[in-house]
Amino acid sequence: MIPTSRVAQAVEITGTMKFKGELLFEGRFNGESIEGDDLVIGEHAEIRAATVKVINFTSAGLVEGNVEVAERAALKGTALIQGNLSTFRLAMDDGASFSGGLSVHKPPTAA
């Protein structure tokens, strides 16, 4: 099993980012894409990316860009999503803000 990784609040990343396993992201990202397995975005995190492609997605922070989730997306009460969201399952807490298009689909392996 791959351990959880963490990007601290004081870190800013520009460009593209790829990861495996679970990533707790609390910093800032500005760039083209983020790709990986399980992405957890902290309350004070800011992500501005053309695309985010992950298996599972949990956000309590700001995300500007299109998000493609293979399995489950969870938006916490402090989440602010601006862009299109494509997912198999969606959970959204009271207080979460979402502005954009929504596509709920079957996972790729479903017949």
- Residue 2: pLDDT over 60: no
Query: What is the phi/psi pair of residue 45, to 5°?
Result: -75, 150
Structurally, the chain folds into a number of domains equal to: 1
Whether residue 110 lies inside any domain: the answer is no
Domain residue limits at 15: 5-101
Residue 88 near residue 109 (C-beta atoms within 8 A): no
Whether residue 108 lies inside any domain: the answer is no
Token pair in block for residue 3: 């351990």
- Residue 1: pLDDT over 90: no
pLDDT grade for 4, boundaries at 50, 70 and 90 = confident
* DSSP single-letter state for residue 3: P
Return the bridge partners of 81, or none: 63, 98
Residues 84-104 pLDDT 10s: 999 999 999 999 999 999 999
Q: How many whole angstroms separate alpha carbon 26 and alpha carbon 39? A: 11
Q: Which position has the token pair 């500007």?
A: 64
Whether residue 111 lies inside any domain: the answer is no
Residues 39-89 pLDDT 10s: 999 999 999 999 999 999 999 999 999 999 999 999 999 999 999 999 999
Whether residue 39 lies inside any domain: the answer is yes
